[in-house]
Amino acid sequence: MEQRLINSGRPARCGGVGFAWAVLVAVLGLAPAADSAPEPTTTPERGQLTLVVPAPPGGSFEQTAIAMRAALVGRGLARDVTIVSRPGGGGLVGLSEFVDARRGDPNVLLVGGVGIIYSAKVTGSQVTPLDTTPVARLTRDYYAVAVPERSPLRNAGDLLRTLRSRPYDLHWAGDQPQGVAERLVWSFAAAANVAPIAQPYSPRFGAGQVAEFLQHGDRDLVGVAGLGELAPAVASGGIRILGVAAPGKTFDGEPTLQSQGLDIVSANWRGVFAPPGISTQQRERLIAMVTAMVRTSVWRATLRRNGWEDDFLAGDGFGAFVAEEQQRVFADNLSEGGAPGPAPPPSAAPATATQPWRWTGLVVAMLAAALAAALALLAWRALRARRRQRLVRASLAPIERRDGEDPAAASGSAVAAAIDREFDAWKLSGAERDVAWFLLKGLSMKEIARLRGASERTVRQQARSVYGKAGLDGRSDLSAHILDQCLSPMAGPAPSPSG
């Protein structure tokens, strides 16, 4: 899988990925006196440091890594810092490679947070952040619920009333599927007593992507993201905060959800982890280096600029915190289907006659029996089709996919890889692949058109093209084929329907 490197800012000393494995060459001095930082009790080594970002470019993990590089290099705590991006699987691709390939390497740190723990729970991963050597928690960013400035919703109460009266009209955007943001959406659904599955959810990856989605989308959009990521759009007047999922009555000048009668607190913390297998002395050196970094004026200025809350916790305390977080997340039983709610909007059905039986004779009886059998067959087929589509949507819920990214790489899932092979066999274009994924997720043509920024007519044409290339009759057949060929536990590589 291709690696993405972000230059450390010192071209003469960065020769590529292999340089990240160079031995440490000097003993680190103290941070400059201008920062008035106390000396660390253990002097960290100064040399080449690699920061692994297990997330797509532009997200909060990469922002954290860039801020760390500025503070570490700017204040002489490290000679060079290289940032390596290893996205996929909600952070699990980068975490797994970090644990396996970087074992015993004291020159590398992984930037992570609670989202990786949620990914491990959703996918049943055998690798979790507890397989690393926790070094330090750095920041905390409370989530906020926001809407476009033109939205009629003014507060959390308006949002709850809308959820109760017309839940299918709201469209949500947040981070990874089944991550912290979507679970906050489920908490809102539970508070409104509606089914979470009724809330169309569009994952957005990278800092500011949710705010951009709100600024350029329809008035019925609702976004969930860290308050720091939404702050620039709030300042420019493009979006409005309905509430912050922080404790207390207000946070950073915005009303909290608690102050509006909703006991919902949700935050994303960010920290750094060393590989397993390093020595106690090497761990203490890394802790001392990060401790000195968070005391620099460069780091403190970054916190203010990004709206991050200082939440520093190092060493054994951070290790205990990660263990508690993992226990909490794995015990969290809130799920997409965990709250009651109304049934989906009923589909059109033939009107049944209410007149008394007036006809007589054998012919009429035979026609009536044939009609009843036909209606029963149609109803049975419709029920089976809906069941197949629900099974497909439930199976695809953990799969993280972004436009232009290979689904297998994005999720690390055999299911995604099998579906992608089907799309390859059908020779779908990029647009047709996106439409096919949205069809499998159960979105309507109108919803797909809104999310893709296209007309509904164009989306319908692309859907017909998908069905034609696949040799299928419609959405029901598409769901049935994917369920049979890609989601069955016994399914292997799926052949093309055309042979």
Q: Please report which residue ranges of 193-296 form alpha helices under DSSP H.
A: 209-216, 227-236, 280-294
In angstroms, how far is CA 27 from the centroid of its own chain? Answer: 40
pLDDT (0 to 100) of residue 292: 96
pLDDT (0 to 100) of residue 301: 93
* Residue 345 scores a pLDDT above 90: no
* Residue 393 scores a pLDDT above 70: no
Range with lowest mean pLDDT among 68-82, 87-101, 310-324, 405-419:
405-419
Note the pLDDT tens digit of each residue in 322-338.
999 999 888 876 554 44
In the chain, residues under CATH classification 1.10.10.10 are: 362-499
Q: Classify the C-alpha dihedral 465-466-471-476 as positive or negative.
A: negative
For residues 271-285, give the mean pLDDT: 96
The CATH number of domain 4-139+268-331 is 3.40.190.150: yes
Q: Is the CB of residue 313 less than 8 Å from the CB of residue 321? A: yes
Range with lowest mean pLDDT among 178-182, 185-189, 266-270, 382-386:
382-386
For residues 283-303, give the mean pLDDT: 95
For residues 28-54, give the mean pLDDT: 54
pLDDT (0 to 100) of residue 219: 85
* Residue 195 scores a pLDDT above 80: no
pLDDT (0 to 100) of residue 207: 58
CB atoms within 10 A of CB 130: 16
pLDDT (0 to 100) of residue 54: 92
* Residue 406 scores a pLDDT above 60: no
In the chain, residues under CATH classification 3.40.190.10 are: 141-263
How far is CA 167 from each of CA 70, 163, 180, 211, 238, rounded to the nearest angstrom? 45, 4, 21, 22, 24
User: 117 forms bridges with which residues in the sheet?
Assistant: none
Q: Which fold has domain 141-263?
A: D-Maltodextrin-Binding Protein; domain 2 (3.40.190)
User: 147 forms bridges with which residues in the sheet?
Assistant: 240
Residue type, 368: A
Q: Which of 50-59, 122-131, 271-280 shows the highest mean pLDDT?
A: 271-280
* Residue 22 scores a pLDDT above 80: no
* Residue 367 scores a pLDDT above 50: yes
pLDDT (0 to 100) of residue 35: 41
Q: Which helix (H) or strand (E) holds 203?
A: strand 201-203
Range with lowest mean pLDDT among 237-246, 285-294, 413-422, 436-445:
413-422
pLDDT band (50, 70, 90) for residue 317: very high
How far is CA 196 from each of CA 23, 131, 164, 344, 450, rounded to the nearest angstrom? 51, 33, 12, 11, 20
How far is CA 290 from each of CA 41, 71, 91, 251, rounded to the nearest angstrom? 12, 10, 22, 27
CB atoms within 10 A of CB 155: 16
pLDDT (0 to 100) of residue 397: 54
Mean of the per-residue pLDDT values for the chain?
A: 76
pLDDT (0 to 100) of residue 494: 41
Closest CA to 233 of 214, 246, 219: 214
Q: Is the CB of residue 5 less than 8 Å from the CB of residue 17? A: yes
What letter does residue 382 receive in the DSSP assignment? H
* Alpha-carbon gap, residue 368 to 158, rounded angstroms: 51
Q: Which CATH number fits domain 362-499: 3.40.50.970, 3.20.20.70, 1.10.10.10, 3.20.20.60?
A: 1.10.10.10
Note the pLDDT tens digit of each residue in 90-142.
889 999 999 999 999 999 999 999 889 988 888 888 999 999 999 999 999 88
* Residue 59 scores a pLDDT above 90: no
pLDDT (0 to 100) of residue 498: 42
For residues 365-380, give the mean pLDDT: 67
Say if pTM beats, i.e. exceeds, 0.75.
no
The proportion of the chain whose per-residue pLDDT surpasses 90, expressed as a percent, equals 30
In the chain, residues under CATH classification 3.40.190.150 are: 4-139+268-331
pLDDT band (50, 70, 90) for residue 225: confident
Note the pLDDT tens digit of each residue in 461-476.
888 888 888 888 788 7
